[in-house]
């Protein structure tokens, strides 16, 4: 079945640094979603991407839908301590757009040193 | 968006017992789901909770182990039955308020001794 590979698995950075993480798939996705999970909480949607090449920002976060439709990346600029958490990419499989069975990456765990 | 209240937030249970997790949404939603997140892992869909009919379970999950109720469009429960240590996980309720966009409760951290 379809899988999403996220890298890096974990990151430990200094406050103020920029962060980049990516998500790749062996097959095409029509939608890419980026979620953040704070410790002890459920995931929260950060950015949704719907078109190949699309670049979308949400504050200090910027995500892009890869042109091949098999990858996406998320950048965080000028990191702050509250950026700590696990970042997941996700997407509905194939062309069905059925969010009932979102495929999830394994997550990138981010730690920020103040 | 939707505000989702999930309880309990955490529990420690004995092997062989059952725990029922409640999920309350502040608005009527058609699609409500239950996920499991094992330690250090990603999210796995357990089932879709259908209002007025039996839940739709994903491969590897069965109704006898994870019975689900959905009495109306704002409420659902998930029961983890006859628990074993392997059931120790975070259980998450989620709803879809638009295509592809899921909103999650804060989760139930379950530890089985």
The model's pLDDT over A23-36, given as tens digits with 9 standing for 90+, comes to 999 888 888 999 99
Residue A64 and residue A49 in contact, taking contact as beta carbons nearer than 8 Å? yes
Task: Check pLDDT > 60 for residue A98.
Answer: no
Helix (H/G/I), strand (E/B), else coil: A86? strand
A41, A45, A99 member nearest B99 (Cβ) = A99
> Which residues on neighbouring strands pair with residue B20, listed in sequence order?
B79
Residue B34 and residue B93 in contact, taking contact as beta carbons nearer than 8 Å? yes
Task: Check pLDDT > 70 for residue A99.
Answer: no
A92, A105, A107 member nearest B100 (Cβ) = A92
Of B106, B70, B98, B97, nearest to B2 (Cα)?
B97
Residue A110 CA to residue B21 CA, distance in Å, equals 29
Residue B24 CA to residue A63 CA, distance in Å, equals 32
B92, B102, B106 member nearest A102 (Cβ) = B102
> Which residues on neighbouring strands pair with residue B35, listed in sequence order?
B45, B92
Residue A28 CA to residue B73 CA, distance in Å, equals 33
Q: What is the mean pLDDT of residues B15-25?
A: 97
Residues of B with CB below 8 A from A106's CB? 41-42
Look at A42 and B104 and tell me if their CB atoms are within 8 Å.
yes
CA distances (Å), origin A36, targets B28, B62, B74: 25, 29, 25
Q: What is the 3-state secondary structure (H, E, C) of A12-36?
A: EEECCCCEEEEEEECCCCCCEEEEE
* CA gyration radius, chain A: 13
Angle at B3 between CA A101 and CA A94, to 5 degrees: 15
Give φ, ψ of A38 to 5 degrees. -75, 155
Look at B42 and A44 and tell me if their CB atoms are within 8 Å.
no
The model's pLDDT over B68-98, given as tens digits with 9 standing for 90+, comes to 999 999 999 999 999 999 999 999 999 987 7
Residues of A with CB below 8 A from B101's CB? 33, 45, 48, 99
């Amino acid at each position: 079945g379809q899988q999403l590979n996220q890298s890096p698995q974990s990151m430990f950075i200094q406050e103020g640094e920029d962060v980049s993480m990516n998500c790749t798939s062996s097959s095409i996705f029509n939608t890419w979603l980026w979620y953040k999970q704070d410790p002890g909480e459920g995931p929260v949607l950060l950015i949704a991407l719907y078109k190949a090449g699309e670049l979308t920002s949400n504050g200090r976060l910027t995500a892009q839908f890869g042109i091949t439709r098999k990858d996406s990346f998320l950048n965080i600029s000028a990191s702050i301590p509250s950026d700590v958490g696990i970042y997941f990419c996700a997407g509905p499989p194939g062309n069905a757009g059925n969010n009932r069975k979102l495929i999830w990456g394994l997550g990138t765990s981010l730690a920020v040193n103040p | 968006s939707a505000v989702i209240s999930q309880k309990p937030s955490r529990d420690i249970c004995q092997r062989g017992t059952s725990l029922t997790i409640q999920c309350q949404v502040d608005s009527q939603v058609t699609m409500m789901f239950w996920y499991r997140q094992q330690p250090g892992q990603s999210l796995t869909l357990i089932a879709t909770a259908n209002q007025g009919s039996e839940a739709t379970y994903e491969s590897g999950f069965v109704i006898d182990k994870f019975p689900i109720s959905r009495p109306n469009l704002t409420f659902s429960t998930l029961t983890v039955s006859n628990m074993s240590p392997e059931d120790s996980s975070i259980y998450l309720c989620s709803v879809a308020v638009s295509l592809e966009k899921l909103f999650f409760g804060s989760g139930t951290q379950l530890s089985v001794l």
